[in-house]
Structure 1
Amino acid sequence: MPAPRRSGAERPGRYAPQPVSWAAYTETARRLGEILHGERARVDQQAARDRRLRTGADELAHRLAVQGQHLADLAGTLRLPQPQVGNVAPGPVPDPAEALRRGAVAADAADAAAAEAHARAGRPALLPGLPPVARNALLYAAAALLGSGVSMLLFLLSPGDLGRIPWQLVPWSLCGLPALAFFAGYLAIGLLGRPRLGGGGTRSARLGGAICFLGMPLLWLVFLAATRG
């Protein structure tokens, strides 16, 4: 009697699929959904980060362009060499966010240096803490003292008795040297007593004239009276 034939599920060597429960199927679907959601969130975060970096780079580029123009204008006003802006080799910073941060820090430092240069240009090189009138008076007085010293030295070196008035020095002592002292003080105020920015006010010409054309002859007369006994 022939043996009964086996069905396909009962044949040896063939894979028989196992039934999947509904709970296992839903768990697998939930895990796949979480993975997909996480991947989408990561992609969205990366896109947002790229947009922020692109915006930050554009803002920094605009700031550097404005800053470069400001530095060029400031250098021209201060009669200084033009700054070299750009053409800088990129540094080894792999993180774009860190590179932007360093760029912003460097731009802040450049702004601070420009502000310091502008502030220093608004102060005179000589005696910056004094008011303009007091500074001008000191410069005129220094020039007048120097001129008076020259006048007295010429008097001492002139031939003849010290008790005799050297009439050949009178025009120089009363007019020539005071005029030279006045113009020396006027020039010194223009070179050292006035800031490069802001003007710095007047040169106090009337005050300088009074110091040089009145003070120097008075000192010379006092010197003559002292030498004549």
Structure 2
Amino acid sequence: MTDQPVTPMPRDGGWAAYTDHSRRLSALLHDERVRAEHQGATSRNGQAAVDQITYRLGAQRQHLQQLAVSMRLPEPHIGGIAPGPIPDPAEALRRAAAAADAADAAAENAHRRAAQPPLLPGLTPLARNALVYAAAAMLGTFASLLMFAVSPDTDLDRIPWQLVPWSLCGLPALAFFAGYLTISLVGQPRIGSGGTRSARAGGVICFVGMPILWFIFIASTRG
């Protein structure tokens, strides 16, 4: 058997191919390393954002529970978080942050409204209470005048003395307690301080103002 001569590969061509493949492999490894580092950074940032929104939601839940207790309302029911149809984690986190901002704004609005009474919230406590007592006194005065108008003694040109105790004591007392009850029910803030019923001002308006109006009415009808 005759040995066949082996033709050697050109040294320059083989080395060039080897170096070309080496450069390509190095570039692929570099790109893969950069991609892995980018994915790792994205994952760490995403996890940090998830931890931040989770902590914020926990603080919101505690704040809502405390707000419900201070406002004397039932404790809010906060259910679990259902998975949403958003495939992009960054978009889901953005929407979660926007929803948390909206929840904070709603809670702040509820807190601000609860710090003011439902009745005439734009007035100071003294002005609001004075208006309530004045309205009750006007109704009481109207009732007193109506009682005098329908009394048989009035037709006889006489003062119905049996109605005087009601006009000077009974109706002013009813007007005072009606104003006091109205202020207690709808004139007090749910939370915070500053709630007052201005009992002294109400006493002056009802027990002094109503008799003065009654005497003015009697004097005008007898004058």
TM-score by length of 2: 0.91
Q: For residues 177-196 of structure 1, what are the alpha-carbon distances to aligned partners after superposition, in whole Å with 9 as ceiling and x for unaligned?
A: 11111111111112222211
Correspondence list, 1:1-229, <5 A: 5=2, 7-9=4-6, 17-19=9-11, 20=13, 22-162=15-155, 163-229=157-223
> AA paired with 1:153?
L
Deviation at 1:6, TM superposition (A): 5.2
> AA paired with 2:4?
S
Deviation at 1:26, TM superposition (A): 3.1
Deviation at 1:146, TM superposition (A): 0.6
Structure 1 distance, partners of 2:59, 2:79, is 13
Q: For residues 128-168 of structure 1, what are the alpha-carbon distances to aligned partners after superposition, in whole Å with 9 as ceiling and x for unaligned?
A: 11111111111110010011111111111222234311111
Structure 1 distance, partners of 2:9, 2:98, is 65
Structure 1 distance, partners of 2:198, 2:74, is 32
Structure 1 distance, partners of 2:154, 2:23, is 121
Deviation at 1:22, TM superposition (A): 4.2
Root-mean-square deviation (CA, aligned residues, Å) is: 1.9
Structure 2 distance, partners of 1:161, 1:144, is 23
Structure 1 residue ranges (4+ consecutive) displaced by more than 4 angstroms after TM superposition:
21-24
TM-score by length of 1: 0.89
> AA paired with 2:183?
I
Structure 2 distance, partners of 1:113, 1:8, is 90
Structure 1 distance, partners of 2:220, 2:164, is 16
Unaligned runs of 5+ in 1: 11-15
> AA paired with 1:207?
A
Structure 2 distance, partners of 1:192, 1:199, is 15
Structure 1 distance, partners of 2:67, 2:5, is 93
Percent identity between matched residues is 60
Higher helix share: 2
> AA paired with 2:36?
V
Structure 2 distance, partners of 1:214, 1:17, is 124
SS in 2 for 1:227: helix
SS in 2 for 1:129: coil
> AA paired with 1:211?
I
> Does the CA-based 8 Å contact 2:189-2:195 persist in structure 1?
no
> Does the CA-based 8 Å contact 2:148-2:154 persist in structure 1?
no
Worse-matched range after superposition: 199-208 or 33-42: 199-208
> Does the CA-based 8 Å contact 2:141-2:210 persist in structure 1?
yes
